Structure 1
Amino acid sequence: MSQHLKFDSATGKMVTRSKFGEHTEELLQLNDPTQVKYRKTILHTLAIAEKELSSLKSQKNELYELHQKNKIKTPIYENEVREIDRSIELIETFIQDNTGTTPLLRLRILK
């Protein structure tokens, strides 16, 4: 399909590359203003999520350093890290779900 359509992240639009792409874009209304606005909103939200993820990882590293220097007690450290890890997991799941990078489920091997 990439030979017919390409996503332009700057505009949120699908760019046609062939007659087939033009037909598909028109048939599915891929550049309908509502669809374009939705894509741009998701891209913006993903950028915010990436920044938050980076911030949480930095906070976790700072906590680790404070704990190593005995500036915070172990129970407090463990509780804070647990909360940060929960937030990291939620954000990573959101990013994976909205970028199509969710890992595939493992196949069960039947015996």
Structure 2
Amino acid sequence: MEYRDGTLIREDGTGLMFVVIDGRLSMIENSEIFDASNATTIDTAKLQQLRREGGPAISGDAYLAIVDGKGYLVNNGEKRYFTSEAAIRKYGFNRGKFQDRKATDLPTSAGADLG
């Protein structure tokens, strides 16, 4: 993947959004949890090449959670811990969309930390 983790990509012409996570391109179905102001716009042909290395989508029901002062991305039945404030900025998440939750509200399945 030629783009670094955290790169936000917008498809020219359609406005579809993607993010690079774990070295793979993931379609963003819930754009509300991202701040797309720094997205890189690319053409459809280039995007098709990148999508061959695709990862799981950021689903429409994905959300950002705060539990005991720790931030998480909850997506596809899995929670992923943000290791720092810098990690939240790196991936372009919208800080205003974090929801206060209890630990019991989150899935028990945990993915790799986002850092």
TM-score, normalisation: structure 1: 0.28
TM-score, normalisation: structure 2: 0.27
* Higher share of residues assigned strand: 2
| Structure whose CA Rg is larger | 1
* Higher share of residues assigned helix: 1
Q: Which one scores higher on RCO, CA 8 angstroms, separation ≥ 6?
A: 2
